[in-house]
Structure 1
Amino acid sequence: MTSIDDLPATPSDDLSAADRAPAAVHPRSVLGRLPRYAAGKPPVVVEGMESFKLSSNENPLPPLPAVLEAIASETAINRYPDPLTTALRTELAGYLGVPATDIVTGAGSLGALNQILATFAGQNDFDAPDEVVYAWRSFEAYPISVGLAGAAGVQVPVRADGTHDLDAMAAAVTDRTRVILLCTPNNPTGPILTRQGVVDFLGKVPAHIVVVIDEAYQEFVRRPDAVDGIALYRDHPNVIVLRTFSKAHGLAGLRVGYSVSQQALTEHLRVSAVPFAVSQIAEHAAVTSLRHIDEVEARVQSIVDERDRVVDGLRGLGWSIPEAEGNFVWLALGEHAQDFAAKAGEQALSVRAFGSEGVRVSIGEEAANTRFLELCRGYTHRPAAG
C-alpha cells in the first residue's frame, strides 16, 4: 500500500506560504485617477451654541406636512416599486406640460445623469474613450461619474465671475465629444446661464452631441433671462434636462430626480435606467409634493428672500461674491478657504470648503444665516469688492 508520503510532489507542494497567499484583488485602474466625492460634513458641536449645517445645499425645511402624512401610511415596502414610476411621470407631465414618455426618473438628478452617461458616453470597442465637456469648477460629481462611465472628462475653467465660458466650451469640442454638461445655476459658484447664451451655444455644437442642462436649483432662479431647459428641449432633439426633488421640495434623503428629453433619446435612456431606482415612498412623496406646489413655491421664496438678505449683507461688508441664483453663495477665498471653514466650525457652522479655491455656504435657517454674516463681518481675508 502506498502512503500519502510516497506520492509524487505536486506543483503546489513546492510553493512557499507567501506564494500560496491569495492574490490581491485590484479595482479598475480608473478609480485611482478619480477624485473622491466629499459630502458636506455635519457641524461641530459647540457648547452653548445651536449647530447649523450649511455644507450640503439642503433645504433647511422638512418636507411639507402633507408629504410626511402621505408617506407615513406607506406599508407595501415588501413589494418592488413601479419600475416606470408611472404616477410620478404622469404628475410631472401635467406640471411641466410635456409628454410623460419624455420623462425618465432616477435616484436623484445624479442618478439620472449617470444613466445619461452610461447611454451616450464611455469606452467603445477598440476606440479611444469618448469625451465629456463640462465647466470647472462645477458639480464635483461630474469627474467621478464621467470617469466611471469610461469616458474622458474635458474641463473648461469657469470665468473669474463664476460663469461658464461657453465660447471656450464650444472650442473644446472634438470629433470624440459625445456629451456636454451645463450646470445652471452653477454649483458651487452660483451664476445662471441665459436663454440666449445657451441658444447661441447650441448653434455651435454638432447636433449629434448630447447637451445636458443640469437644473437642480431651477426653482430658486429669479433672473428673467435665465435659461429654461424645458422650454428649449422641444426645439433641440439633442438636449436633455436634469431636475430633482432634493432641493426645492426638501426630499434629498429620498433620492428622486428625473431627466426630460425627446423620445429619440428616452428610448435609449430607458435601457440604461436602473430598475426600481425610485422607491414607492419617494414616488409617493414627490407626487404629493407636486400636488401642493403652491406651498412648495412659498417655501422656496422664503429661502430666496434669505439668500438675497445674505448677498446684500455680504456686499454691504465689502465682500465680492458672484451672482447667487441657487440656495447657496460662493466665497472665492483662495488660500484662505480652509481657514474660513475652520473659523465657521468654531461658530458651530459647517460650510463646504473646496481646496484652496473657495467656500460654498448653503442658505439655512435665519439664525444660521445671521451668524454666518457676523463671522464674515470680522473675517479679514475677504474677497475685495471690485
Structure 2
Amino acid sequence: MTEDSARSVRLREALNLIPSYVPGKPAPQREGFTTYKISSNENPYPPLPSVLSVIAEAASQVNRYPDMSVTALRTAIAEHFGVRLEEVATGTGSVGILGQIMQIACDPGDEVVFAWRSFEAYPIIVGLSGATAVQVPLTADASHDLLAMAAAITERTKVVLVCTPNNPTGPIVTAPDLDSFLAAVPSDVLVVIDEAYVEFGRDPRAADALAVWRSHPNVVVLRTFSKAYGLAGLRVGYAIAHEPIADALRKAAVPFGVSDLAQQAAIASLSAYDELAVRVEDLVIERSRVIKALREQGWDVPDSQANFIWLPLGDDALAFAEVAAEQGLVVRPFAGDGVRCTIAEVEANDRLIEVAAAYRGR
C-alpha cells in the first residue's frame, strides 16, 4: 500500500481534534554534566530488592498468559484498603483505567468535566471516547475551582474528573470543598477522584477519598503503582469502585492487559510498603526543601502535595526548559502555562534550585 492510498483510509474525525500525548524527554548526554530527567514524575529510587527478586522470578514465566482476572493482586489491594474483592478493578496504570471509565460511561455527544490545566491525558482520552471535554480553569493558586466545575455540569454530563493532588500544579482538593462539590453533583454523574500521587500528601485538610467513596455510590477512586511504588515501567493501576461500576470496568479491560510481572511486583510492593514509605518520606522532605528554596528566590510556587513542583512561567515555560536542558536538567514545560519539575535525587534537586536562581537573575 502506498502512502497516498493509506491517507485515503477513513479514520475518525475526532482524531483531528485530539492532541498527542507528550511524554517527558529522556536526559541527554552532556559533556561535563551528570544529566537528570525530572520531566515524568518518576520515582528516582529503583524497586526494592525484594520486589526485584519477585520480578526476576516472574520473568521466567512470561511465555504464559497472566491471570486475566488479576485475582491475587485485587485480593491484596482489597485487604490493604479494607474493601471487597468485587470493588477492585485494575488496568494498565490509572490512565488505562480512565480509558475504561470513558468506555463504560460515555457515548458520543456526552460531556466530561475536568479542571484545566490538569493531567495531559484527560482531553485525549475523553476525545477518543467521542465525548466532549468541558475544561474549567484552575483558580489563581492553581487549585480546582469546584464551584465553577459544579456550575459546568449539564444534562449531557456523564463524568467529572477530580485530580488531587492536581497534576501538573500540585495542590489538593480539601475535604470540605469536595463534600460541598459532591452535594451539588447529580447522583447519576460519575465522579472520578484521581489520586495518582496520594501517597505523597501530608496536608491534613485533604479529602479522604476512600471515605468519600464509601458514602457516594457515584464515586470512583483511581490510584497507581507507578509513582510512590516505583513501578512506572510495569504499567499497573487500580480503581476502587462500587460493585456494578467495578464489574463494568473489568468488562472493559484489555484482556491480559496487566502482565504477570506487574501483578507480582505490585503484590510484593504492597507487602513492603512500610519500607517504601521511608523513600516516599525522603521525597516529601526534599519537596519541602525545594519549595522553600524557590520561594526564597521569589518564585510563586503553589503548595504541592505530589512528587513534583510547578513553576507558573506562562509564556516563558519553553525558554526556561531550554535553559534547564543546557544545564543537564530535563523538565516538563507546558507552553503558555508553566513548567513541572519532578522531585528527584538530591543532586537533581540542587541543580533545579541553581538553574531557577540563575534564570531569575538574568
TM-score (norm. length: structure 2)? 0.97
1:46 equivalent to 2:26? Answer no
1:203 equivalent to 2:173? Answer no
Judge conservation of contact 1:240–1:260 (CA < 8 Å) in 2.
yes
Partner of 1:9: none
Which of residues 145, 155, 160 in structure 2 aligns to 1:180? 160
Partner of 1:299: 279
Residues 325-336 of structure 1 mapped to structure 2, 5 A cutoff: 325-336=305-316
Q: What are structure 2's unaligned runs of at least 5 residues?
A: none
SS in 1 for 2:112: strand
Partner of 1:358: 338
SS in 2 for 1:379: helix
Moved more, 208-217 or 46-55: 46-55
Q: Distance in 1 between matches of 2:210 and 2:335?
A: 34
Moved more, 21-30 or 367-376: 21-30
Which of residues 171, 183, 188 in structure 1 aligns to 2:151? 171
Partner of 1:80: 65
Judge conservation of contact 1:237–1:264 (CA < 8 Å) in 2.
no
Q: Distance in 2 between matches of 1:56 and 1:367?
A: 17
Judge conservation of contact 1:336–1:381 (CA < 8 Å) in 2.
no
AA aligned opposite 2:74:
R
Judge conservation of contact 2:90–2:250 (CA < 8 Å) in 1.
no
Q: Larger C-alpha radius of gyration, 1 or 2?
A: 1
1:265 CA displacement: 1.5
The superposition leaves residues 317-363 of structure 1 with CA deviations (integer Å, 9 ceiling, x where unpaired) of 11111111100000001111111000000110000000121000001
Q: What are structure 1's unaligned runs of at least 5 residues?
A: 1-17, 124-128
1:113 equivalent to 2:93? Answer no
AA aligned opposite 1:253:
G
1:121 CA displacement: 1.1
SS in 2 for 1:41: coil
1:71 equivalent to 2:55? Answer yes
The superposition leaves residues 28-64 of structure 1 with CA deviations (integer Å, 9 ceiling, x where unpaired) of 1111101110000012321011010000000011111
- The alpha-carbon distance between structure 1 residues 150 and 297, as it changes in their structure 2 partners (threshold 3 A), is same
Which of residues 19, 26, 37 in structure 1 aligns to 2:10? 26
Structure 1's consecutive aligned runs of 4 or more residues displaced over 4 angstroms after TM superposition are 20-23
Q: Distance in 2 between matches of 1:67 and 1:270?
A: 26
1:381 CA displacement: 7.4
- The alpha-carbon distance between structure 1 residues 227 and 22, as it changes in their structure 2 partners (threshold 3 A), is closer
1:21 CA displacement: 6.7
Q: Distance in 1 between matches of 2:249 and 2:325?
A: 42
The superposition leaves residues 101-125 of structure 1 with CA deviations (integer Å, 9 ceiling, x where unpaired) of 10000000000111111000122xx
Partner of 2:80: 95
The superposition leaves residues 87-142 of structure 1 with CA deviations (integer Å, 9 ceiling, x where unpaired) of 1011111111111110000000000111111000122xxxxx10000000000000
SS in 1 for 2:207: coil
Q: Distance in 1 between matches of 2:247 and 2:316?
A: 48
1:343 equivalent to 2:348? Answer no
Judge conservation of contact 2:28–2:328 (CA < 8 Å) in 1.
yes
The count of residues paired between Structure 1 and Structure 2 equals 359
Partner of 1:212: 192
Which of residues 89, 94, 101 in structure 2 aligns to 1:104? 89
The percentage of aligned residue pairs carrying the same residue is 53
Judge conservation of contact 1:158–1:165 (CA < 8 Å) in 2.
yes
AA aligned opposite 1:91:
A
The superposition leaves residues 301-332 of structure 1 with CA deviations (integer Å, 9 ceiling, x where unpaired) of 01111111100110111111111110000000
Residues 359-374 of structure 1 mapped to structure 2, 5 A cutoff: 359-374=339-354
Q: Distance in 2 between matches of 1:302 and 1:271?
A: 39
Q: Distance in 2 between matches of 1:202 and 1:380?
A: 41
The superposition leaves residues 155-198 of structure 1 with CA deviations (integer Å, 9 ceiling, x where unpaired) of 00001110000000000000000000000000001100011111
What is the RMSD of the two structures over their aligned residues, measured on CA atoms?
A: 1.5
